[in-house]
């Protein structure tokens, strides 16, 4: 152990003791200030759900050293937050950050709304193997912490491809081994996207087998369920079953009810969650606070059987007249009843790599431009044409506000964006990437009173931290990592809209990650203190090797 590391450990230990005694550590007498940063006159919302209180908060190195009614000891920097809320940095358990983290490691759209930790690998999709990706992230100077799940869909694709069949015993063993390696590499658990190909072709029993591996290594199971429309109740039951039989905590990710014909079914899905928890099944939920979803046009609007085998097989099926008509009929039904919300005008194009001019147009607009009527049938033709050109990301307005609020209020629901790191001004993204956490605090807490401020912060901090096993983050308490968000509860709001999505959240004045200021006075700083966070199996192995 180096001398510098010994000094750091000694100072931290001594600091904790003196923090408990309400005094400054003795080494301050040697000329070194006892604290690096003191936040004065804070309204502490500590992440536990407890009522806020007024206090000062001191930071030494990466950790919170002291919280007290008044801290007058010397510090390298004293910041008067003037009664603003000081909360733990927000932990987003469902992001698609890897799409742009290497391009924009400052993650501006997240940091500016108080997010300090991003979790990747959702919806069954992750790098396989995971280790090299995490090693590359580890060497990247970044503003935020980041971790990952191992994706069931990616594991299945690596072993048997995008085909609709059961694995052989040998293939299942290979999938188990890939999940095990992912956990050892640092995954927090297993994610699935049973709505997507190839996850859609996976029998429940196969998912259970892989979930058992993740559970054996202390991980959780988080799922984009098989169906969020007509089959949403059955999909919730399947998620609960996978957790129960897999022997690990389960999470319904971005829970919603899609399609006007199915609105209101959150009453039943939440009842199923309550019943499962009552009998001892550890099942939870996350949600973004918007009445529109976002995914690819092809995945959302074309039947999964048509996508089997990948793009070339799909294009081959579309070249056959009878098969194309069948795909069109089924796509029109999806537009009528599910993600189309009954009308192709409810589908907005978010991004097209092959034609940026399409961003912001609706599926109805595309249909008209191609000479089709703006009906579900014309929208289906447009979706097929988009698929043939190379595919686009879409935004789908098909969720009810009543279901959204009911799910948000549920005590087993945490907040997550399902967004990504966004390059400002590029494309027409879902506003959730810019505004999820600010929207909850501004719209649903302050403006509508759906949640108490303290409960909303709990859903963004200690709750996801507990779910992930992040024992040193998510709560403001001496000894915890100093990931901190400072905001004005009267000004906080999501400025991003569906019409003008490229707008940063407002009301945040200061964000710290691992004790360093990464955002202040409307600007991202030069500090890059973000860390790769590793899951339970990696941490256990690292502890055993010491």
**Mean pLDDT, each 10-residue run in order, the chain (546 residues):** 45 44 48 94 98 98 98 97 98 97 98 98 98 98 98 98 97 98 98 97 98 98 98 98 98 98 97 98 98 96 95 96 97 96 96 93 96 97 97 96 98 98 96 98 98 98 98 98 98 97 98 98 97 97 86
Which of 172, 177, 185, 173 lies closest to 120, judged by CA?
Answer: 185
| pLDDT score, position 17 | 42
| Residue 455 DSSP class | H
pLDDT value at residue 4:
43
Query: Which residues in 378-417 are b (16+ Cβ under 10 Å) and which e?
Result: bbbbbbbbbbeeebbbbbbbbbbeebbbbbbebebbbbbb
The helix (run of H) or strand (run of E) holding residue 518 is: strand 516-520
Q: How far is CA 507 from CA 2, 55, 59, 488, in A?
A: 43, 20, 23, 5
What is this structure's pTM?
A: 0.93
Q: Give how far Cα 74 sits from Cα of 16, 55, 79, 236, Å.
A: 16, 16, 12, 54
- CATH 2.30.40 placement within the chain: 3-83
**Is the domain defined by 90-291+399-469+480-524 classed in CATH 3.20.20.140?**
yes
Q: What is the DSSP letter of 529?
A: B
Closest CA to 77 of 57, 63, 97, 92: 57
pLDDT of residue 142: 98
Name which of 412, 418, 413, 473 is nearest 94 in CA terms: 418
Secondary structure element (H or E) that encloses residue 440, with its range: none
pLDDT of residue 10: 45
Question: Which part of the chain has CATH 3.20.20.140?
Answer: 90-291+399-469+480-524
| CATH number, domain 3-83, options 1.10.10, 1.10.3470, 2.30.40, 1.10.287 | 2.30.40
- Alpha carbons 238 and 233: distance in angstroms, whole number: 9
The Cα 140–Cα 537 span in angstroms is 23
Residue 32: predicted pLDDT: 86
């Amino acid at each position: 152990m180096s001398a510098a590391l010994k000094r750091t450990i000694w100072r931290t230990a001594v600091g904790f003791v003196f923090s408990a005694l309400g005094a400054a550590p003795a080494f301050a007498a040697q000329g070194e200030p006892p604290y690096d940063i003191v936040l004065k006159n804070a309204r502490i919302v500590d992440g536990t759900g407890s009522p806020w209180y007024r206090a000062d908060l001191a930071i030494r190195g990466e950790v919170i050293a002291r919280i007290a009614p008044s801290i007058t000891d010397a510090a390298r920097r004293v910041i008067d937050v003037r009664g603003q809320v000081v909360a733990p940095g927000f932990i987003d358990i469902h992001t698609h950050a890897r799409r742009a983290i290497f391009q924009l490691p400052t993650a501006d759209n997240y940091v500016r709304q108080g997010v300090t930790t991003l979790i990747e690998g959702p919806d069954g999709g992750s790098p396989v193997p995971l280790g090299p990706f995490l090693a590359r992230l580890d060497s990247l100077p970044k503003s935020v912490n980041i971790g990952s799940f191992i994706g069931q869909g990616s594991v299945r694709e690596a072993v048997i491809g995008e085909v609709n069949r059961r694995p052989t015993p040998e293939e299942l063993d290979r999938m188990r081994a890939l999940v095990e390696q992912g956990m050892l590499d640092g995954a927090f658990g297993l994610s699935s996207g049973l709505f997507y190909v190839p996850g859609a072709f996976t029998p429940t029993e196969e998912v259970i087998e892989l979930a058992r591996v993740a559970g054996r290594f202390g991980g959780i199971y988080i799922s984009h369920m098989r169906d969020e429309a007509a089959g949403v109740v059955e999909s919730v039951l399947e998620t609960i079953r996978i957790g129960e039989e897999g022997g690990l905590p389960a999470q319904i990710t971005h829970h919603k009810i899609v399609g006007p014909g199915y609105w209101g079914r959150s009453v039943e899905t939440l009842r199923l969650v309550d019943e499962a928890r009552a009998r001892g099944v550890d099942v939870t939920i996350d949600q973004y606070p918007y009445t529109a979803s976002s995914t690819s046009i092809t995945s959302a609007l074309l039947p999964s059987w048509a996508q089997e085998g990948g793009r070339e097989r799909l294009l081959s099926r579309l070249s056959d007249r009878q098969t194309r008509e069948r795909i069109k009929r089924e796509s029109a039904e999806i537009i009528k009843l599910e993600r189309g919300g009954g009308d192709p005008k409810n589908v907005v194009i978010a991004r097209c790599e092959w034609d940026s001019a399409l961003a912001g147009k609706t599926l109805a607009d595309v249909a008209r431009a191609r000479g089709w009527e703006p009906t579900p049938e014309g929208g289906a033709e447009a979706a097929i044409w988009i698929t043939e050109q190379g595919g686009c990301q879409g935004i789908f307005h098909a969720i009810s506000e009543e279901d959204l609020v009911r799910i948000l209020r549920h005590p087993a629901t945490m907040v997550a964006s399902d967004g990504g790191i966004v390059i400002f001004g590029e494309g027409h993204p879902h506003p959730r990437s810019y505004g999820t956490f600010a929207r909850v605090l501004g719209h649903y807490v302050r403006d509508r009173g759906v949640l108490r401020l303290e409960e909303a912060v709990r859903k963004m901090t200690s709750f996801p931290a507990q779910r992930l096993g992040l024992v040193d983050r998510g709560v403001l308490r001496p000894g915890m990592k100093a990931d901190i968000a400072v905001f004005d509860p009267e000004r906080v709001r999501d400025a991003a809209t569906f019409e003008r999505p490229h707008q940063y959240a407002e009301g945040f004045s200061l964000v710290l990650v691992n004790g360093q200021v990464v955002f202040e006075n409307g600007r991202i700083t030069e500090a890059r203190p973000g860390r790769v966070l590793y899951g339970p199996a990696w941490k256990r192995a690292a502890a055993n090797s010491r």
